[in-house]
Chain A
Amino acid sequence: AQSVSQHNHHVILSEAASLELGCNYSYGGTVNLFWYVQYPGQHLQLLLKYFSGDPLVKGIKGFEAEFIKSKFSFNLRKPSVQWSDTAEYFCAVKGGYQKVTFGTGTKLQVIP
Chain B
Amino acid sequence: DTGVSQDPRHKITKRGQNVTFRCDPISEHNRLYWYRQTLGQGPEFLTYFQNEAQLEKSRLLSDRFSAERPKGSFSTLEIQRTEQGDSAMYLCASTGMGANVLTFGAGSRLTVL
Contact = CB atoms under 8 A, between A and B. Distances in A.
A11 to B, nearest CB: 15
B105 to A, nearest CB: 6
A43 B42 contact: no
Contacts of A32: 100
B41 A99 contact: no
Contacts of A42: 106
B101 A44 contact: no
Interface residues of B, number: 20
Contacts of A9: 40
A36 to B, nearest CB: 8
Nearest to A104: B42
B42 A102 contact: yes
Interface in A23-51: 32, 34, 36, 42-46, 49, 51
A94 B44 CA distance: 13
B12 interface: no
A49 B95 CA distance: 14
A75 interface: no
B56 A99 contact: yes
Interface of B: 33, 35, 40-45, 48, 56, 91, 93, 100-107
Interface of A: 4, 6, 9, 32, 34, 36, 42-46, 49, 51, 90, 92, 94, 99-105
